[in-house]
Homo-oligomer: A and B are copies of this chain.
Amino acid sequence: MTWRFALVIEPVASDDSRTDFSATFREIDPSAPALSVGELSTQRGDGIFESIGVVDRHPQETQAHLDRLVHSAGLCDLPSPHLEQWRQAVDVAAAHCPPEGEGVIKLILSRGVEHGPTPTAWVTAAQAADNTAVRKRGVRVVTLDRGYGIDTPARAPWLLLGAKTLSYAVNMAAIREAKRRDADDAIFVSSDGFVLEAPTASLILRLGDRYVTPAPNGGILHGTTQLSLFEHLAAQGLQTGYEVIPVASLARADAAWLVSSVRLAAPIRAIDGVDVAVDEELTASFNRYLLSPRD
A residues with CB within 8 A of B: 6, 28, 30-39, 41-47, 49, 76-77, 106, 108, 110-111, 122, 124, 144-149, 152, 155-161, 163, 165-174, 176-177, 191
Given A36-B30, A45-B45, A77-B176 in contact, is the A160-B152 Cβ separation under 8 Å? no
- How many copies make up the complex? 2
Residues of B within 8 A of A169 (CB): 44-47, 76, 160, 163, 165-167
CB pair B44 A166 closer than 8 Å: yes
- Most chain B CB neighbours (cut-off 10 Å) among A6, A77, A156, A174: A156
- Which 9 A-B residue pairs are closest in the complex by CB-CB distance? A45-B45, A167-B167, A167-B169, A44-B168, A45-B167, A42-B42, A33-B33, A165-B169, A158-B177
Give, as a whole number of angstroms, the nearest-CB distance from A295 to chain B.
Answer: 26
A37 and B37 in contact, given A167-B169, A170-B159 (Cβ under 8 angstroms): no
Q: In whole angstroms, how far apart are the Cα atoms of A31 and B157 in the complex?
A: 33
A168 interface neighbour in B46, B149, B159, Cβ under 8 Å: B46
A172 to B146, CA, bound (A): 20
Given the complex, which residues of B lie within 8 Å of A161, measured CB to CB? 147
A33 touches B30 (CB 8 A): no
Residue of B with least CB distance to A48: B169
